[in-house]
Amino acid sequence: MRLNVSLEEAQEIVLGMLRPIEREAILHLPDSLGRVLSRDIKAPFNVPAFDKSPLDGYAVRAEDTKMAASDNPVILHVIEEVPAGSVPTKRVEPGSAIRIMTGAPIPEGADVVVRFEDVEEAADTIKVSQPLASGANIIPAGDDVAEGEVVASTGTRLNAPLIGMLASLGISSVPVYQRVRVAIINTGNELLDPSEKWLPGKIYNSNRYLLEARCKELGAEPVYLDSVPDEETAVAESLQGALEVADLVITTGGASVGQYDVVKNAINAVGAEILFWKIALKPGMPTAVARKDGKVIFSLSGNPAAAMITFDLLAVPALKKLSGMKEVLPPTITGILVNAFQKRSPQRRMLRAKWKKQNGSDLIELTGKQSNDVLKSLVECNILIDVPAGTPSLAVGQHVSAYVVGNLTDSLVGELKC
Ligand SMILES: Nc1nc2c(c(=O)[nH]1)N[C@H]1C(S)=C(S)[C@@H](COP(=O)(O)OP(=O)(O)OC[C@H]3O[C@@H](n4cnc5c(N)ncnc54)[C@H](O)[C@@H]3O)O[C@H]1N2
Ligand code: MOO
């Protein structure tokens, strides 16, 4: 077992031992939002499938308009009208034009479309007063997607535009990885469920609901939720049950050095190998990671903010890797701090903060108290400021770097509301 690893070493150890789960499911397209493709998707045909008009006008032959001028307009006979959804039945022969609507197929013989506004219309003729360039105003077949092109590769998470594009290709079901199954075990004699009556000395189990919701946000499936006292046998029994049904196991609490901190003993008791204990990070220092039969156990601190932060920085990349995603580590951004942080950071520290854009600048605002038990400052937090070990207090206006752990558009929506 290694002691005191850096966050990056911890991530490397965890990601190095995990492979995407290979269970596959075929889902109806509308049910696939947020899921991860388990195979490449190739376009079954060109989109658009035919040369089409991008506007309402007339399909003509450029050749016929070569000599056109305002004092020498060319008169063409309109022989047919093609609305979107129909196909032309005639060919544009010399001297003729076909009235065509946006999205309709270009008739044979035509090589340019001229807008209604650019011609003079009479009963069944049009006057063209300038030469037209061959190919203008025609969207060629395959302009958006070419037949056989890989439109989305294995490991891509399905978002709304991708679902829209697959629909445009006539694809109504997609192959995805099954959801990653997560077990969450909360340890602590003090824990009560929020549905229970409060009792002196007890606290409500917030970690379970916090982590369960985060798993769901990420498209994972919490399959095993347990709350157990600080007893080695109880924790070991729960771990055993969790390892049987889940791909990844999270425990919270009992990770430190007190006599009730029994999780590491329980991990040993089920025959799992502890890979490391303690990360050089605050909060979240007493985190341990263990492995059993290719499955990973994350033993996180009981303190809610510490549990959440290590979950986001360490367990989320693992979840993403298991779910088949390609980009698994949290992205980073830089910005200007708008409120001061008075404490020194002898150890590397993650601070809960919120990104916002103002007058073109990236601003970073601490969301509240930063102690490891405080949940309130997590609510609006979408980034974690990475404060290197040995940093003195942070001043307003200072440039800082942060990990993105939440949805940045939430901050923009907030800005727009103001
Ligand atoms: N002598 C030392 N004491 C502590 C150290 C240390 O190095 N030496 N480290 C401190 C740090 S830092 C942290 S972080 C915590 C980690 O403690 P544990 O992981 O063992 O967690 P617990 O003691 O079980 O709980 C800590 C705190 O969190 C509350 N808690 C626990 N579970 C939940 C839950 N499911 N929902 C909400 N809150 C929960 C618990 O009641 C405690 O208040 O250790 C320090 N001590
Ligand atoms: O590890 Mo504790 O969460 O440092 O604060």
According to the model, what pLDDT value does residue 418 have?
A: 43
Return the ligand 2 atom nearest residue 301 CA: 3
Residues of the chain with CATH 3.40.980.10: 2-23+179-322
Residue nearest to atom 4 of ligand 2 (CA): 283
Return the ligand 1 atom nearest residue 186 CA: 35
According to the model, what pLDDT value does residue 411 have?
A: 67
Q: Ligand 1 pocket, 173 CB below 6 A? A: no
Calculate how far, in angstroms, residue 205's C-alpha sits from the geometric centre of ligand 1.
Answer: 13
Q: What is the largest CA-CA distance in the chain?
A: 99
Return the ligand 2 atom nearest residue 256 CA: 1
Cα separation values, 303 from 100, 282, 358, 360, 375, Å: 67, 12, 33, 37, 9
Hey, which of 203, 256, 350 would you mutate to test ligand 1's pocket, going by the most ligand atoms within 8 Å of its Cβ? 256
Residue nearest to atom 31 of ligand 1 (CA): 302
Contact between 160 and 151 under an 8 Å Cβ cutoff? The reply is no
Neighbours of 302 (CB within 10 A): 27
Residues of the chain with CATH 2.40.340.10: 332-417
Give Cβ neighbours of residue 35 (< 8 Å, ≥ 6 apart).
27, 157, 158, 174, 176, 177, 179, 219
Residue nearest to atom 2 of ligand 2 (CA): 283
Provide, for the chain, the percentages of residues in helix, strand and coil under a 3-state DSSP scheme, each rounded to the nearest 5: 25, 35, 45
DSSP state of 72: B
Contact between 113 and 57 under an 8 Å Cβ cutoff? The reply is yes
Contact between 98 and 116 under an 8 Å Cβ cutoff? The reply is no
DSSP alpha helix (H) spans, 134-262? 160-168, 206-217, 232-245
Give Cβ neighbours of residue 76 (< 8 Å, ≥ 6 apart).
58, 60, 64, 95, 96, 97, 125, 126, 128
**Residue pointed to by tokens 């009792």:** 199
Return the ligand 1 atom nearest residue 299 CA: 19
Return the ligand 2 atom nearest residue 285 CA: 1
According to the model, what pLDDT value does residue 412 have?
A: 62
25-47+143-177: CATH, from 3.40.50.720, 3.40.50.150, 3.90.105.10, 3.40.640.10: 3.90.105.10
Q: Ligand 1 pocket, 309 CB below 6 A? A: no
DSSP alpha helix (H) spans, 2-120? 7-16
For residue 181, the cross-strand partners are 221
Torsion sign across C-alpha atoms 311, 314, 319, 325: positive
Q: What is the CATH number of domain 332-417?
A: 2.40.340.10
Report the alpha-carbon distance of residue 103 to residue 270 in Å, rounded. Answer: 64
Identify the helix (H) or strand (E) that includes residue 69. none
Secondary structure string (H, E, C) spanning 357-380: EECCEEEEEECCCCCCCCCHHHHC
Return the ligand 2 atom nearest residue 281 CA: 4
Report the alpha-carbon distance of residue 185 to residue 229 in Å, rounded. Answer: 10
Reported pTM: 0.87
Return the ligand 2 atom nearest residue 371 CA: 5
Calculate how far, in angstroms, residue 282's C-alpha sits from the geometric centre of ligand 2.
Answer: 5
Q: Where are the beta strands (DSSP E) in 238-359?
A: 248-252, 273-279, 288-292, 295-300, 332-337, 349-358
Q: Ligand 1 pocket, 362 CB below 6 A? A: no
Topology of the domain comprising 2-23+179-322: Molybdenum Cofactor Biosythetic Enzyme; Chain A (3.40.980)
Calculate how far, in angstroms, residue 327's C-alpha sits from the geometric centre of ligand 2.
Answer: 27
Contact between 119 and 72 under an 8 Å Cβ cutoff? The reply is no
Q: Ligand 1 pocket, 286 CB below 6 A? A: yes
Contact between 121 and 73 under an 8 Å Cβ cutoff? The reply is no
Ligand 2-lining residues (CB < 6 angstroms)? 282-286, 301, 303, 306, 372
Count CA atoms within 13 Å of residue 169 on its CB side: 26
Q: Ligand 1 pocket, 285 CB below 6 A? A: yes
Q: Ligand 1 pocket, 375 CB below 6 A? A: no
Architecture of domain 57-128: Beta Complex (2.170)
For residue 27, the cross-strand partners are 174
According to the model, what pLDDT value does residue 393 have?
A: 96
Residues of the chain with CATH 2.170.190.11: 57-128
Residues of the chain with CATH 3.90.105.10: 25-47+143-177
Mean pLDDT by 10 residues, the chain (418 residues): 95 96 95 95 95 97 96 96 95 97 97 96 94 97 94 95 95 96 97 96 97 94 97 97 98 87 94 96 96 96 96 97 94 96 97 93 96 93 97 97 88 54
Q: Ligand 1 pocket, 303 CB below 6 A? A: yes
Give Cβ neighbours of residue 350 (< 8 Å, ≥ 6 apart).
281, 282, 283, 284, 309, 313, 384, 385, 386, 387, 403
Calculate how far, in angstroms, residue 183's C-alpha sits from the geometric centre of ligand 2.
Answer: 22
In 3-state terms, what secondary structure has residue 15? helix
CA angle 195, 201, 206 (to 5 degrees): 45
How buried is residue 327: exposed, middle or buried, by Cβ count under 10 Å (0-12/13-18/19+)?
exposed
Q: What is the ipTM of this complex?
A: 0.96
